Amino acid sequence: GAVPEGGPKALSTLWPGALAVISGLTSDKALHFNGTVCTVLEVQGDGKCLAELEGGQKATLPIGNLSLAEGGGLVPGIKAIISGLKKEEAQKYNGGEALLKGWSREYSKWVVKLPDGNTAPLPATNLRVAPAPPEAEAEEFPI
104: in domain: yes
30: in domain: yes
What is the span of the domain harbouring residue 82?
78-129
Q: Please indicate, yes or no, whether residues 23 and 58 belong to a single structural domain of this protein.
A: yes
Q: Please indicate, yes or no, whether residues 62 and 88 belong to a single structural domain of this protein.
A: no
Can you list the positions of beta strands (E) in 79-126?
79-82, 97-104, 109-113, 119-122
How many domains are there within the chain?
2
117: in domain: yes
pLDDT score, position 138: 56
Q: Please indicate, yes or no, whether residues 62 and 85 belong to a single structural domain of this protein.
A: no
pLDDT score, position 45: 85
10: in domain: no
Last residue of a domain, one of 68, 87, 107: 68
27: in domain: yes
101: in domain: yes
Cα–Cα distance for residue pair 78/112, rounded to 1 Å: 10
CB 41 within 8 A of CB 56: no
Q: Please indicate, yes or no, whether residues 62 and 26 belong to a single structural domain of this protein.
A: yes
pLDDT score, position 13: 86
Per-residue pLDDT of the chain (143 residues; tens, 9 = 90+): 444 444 444 345 899 999 999 999 999 999 999 999 999 999 998 999 999 999 899 999 999 999 999 999 999 999 999 999 999 999 999 999 999 999 999 999 999 999 999 999 999 999 999 987 766 555 666 66
CA angle at 35 for the pair 32 and 36, rounded to the nearest 5°: 80
pLDDT score, position 10: 39
pLDDT score, position 53: 97
Question: What's the 3-state SS for 34-90?
Answer: CCCEEEEEEECCCCEEEEECCCCCEEEEEHHHEEECCCCCCCCCCEEEECCCCCCCC
Cα–Cα distance for residue pair 126/67, rounded to 1 Å: 18
CATH number of the domain residue 125 falls in: 2.30.30
